[in-house]
Amino acid sequence: MKILVVDDDVQLRRALRINLEARQHSVIEVGDGKDAVESTIADTPDFVILDLGLPGLSGAEVVRAVRRVSAVPILVLSGRTQSADKVDALDAGANDYVTKPFSIDELLARVRALTRGAGVPHHDVVGFGEVRVDLTRHEIVRRSTDGEEIVKLTPTEWGVLEVLVRNPDRLVSKREILTTVWGPAYGKEDAYLRLFVGQLRKKLELDPARPKHLITEPGLGYRFSQ
Closest CA to 46 of 68, 19, 74: 74
At its nearest, how many Å lie between another protein and the CB of residue 198? 33
170 Rama sector, left if φ>0, alpha if ψ -120 to 50, beta otherwise: beta
At its nearest, how many Å lie between another protein and the CB of residue 22? 5
Question: Which CB atom, from 7 or from 205, has the smaller least distance to another protein?
Answer: 7
Question: Which CB atom, from 80 or from 152, has the smaller least distance to another protein?
Answer: 80
At its nearest, how many Å lie between another protein and the CB of residue 150? 37
E strand or H helix at 226, and its extent? none
The residues that bridge with 2 in the sheet, in sequence order, are: 26
Question: Which CB atom, from 103 or from 136, has the smaller least distance to another protein?
Answer: 103
SS3 of residue 223 by DSSP: strand
Query: β-strand 96-99 against 125-128: which pairing, if any?
Result: unpaired
Question: Which CB atom, from 114 or from 200, has the smaller least distance to another protein?
Answer: 114
At its nearest, how many Å lie between another protein and the CB of residue 128? 22
Tell me which residues touch another protein (CB under 8 A). 8-9, 11-12, 14-16, 18-19, 21-23, 53-56, 58, 77, 79-81, 100-105, 107
Please give the order of strands across the beta sheet that includes 131-134: 125-128, 131-134, 139-144, 147-151
Question: Which CB atom, from 69 or from 84, has the smaller least distance to another protein?
Answer: 84
176-207: b (≥16 Cβ within 10 Å) or e: bbbebbbeeeeeeeeebbeebbebbbebbbee
At its nearest, how many Å lie between another protein and the CB of residue 125? 25
At its nearest, how many Å lie between another protein and the CB of residue 52? 9
Query: β-strand 214-217 against 221-224: which pairing, if any?
Result: antiparallel
Q: How far apart are CA 46 and CA 145, in angstroms?
A: 47
Question: Which CB atom, from 15 or from 151, has the smaller least distance to another protein?
Answer: 15
At its nearest, how many Å lie between another protein and the CB of residue 219? 19
Judge contact between 167 and 118, C-beta under 8 A.
yes
Question: Which CB atom, from 86 or from 175, has the smaller least distance to another protein?
Answer: 86
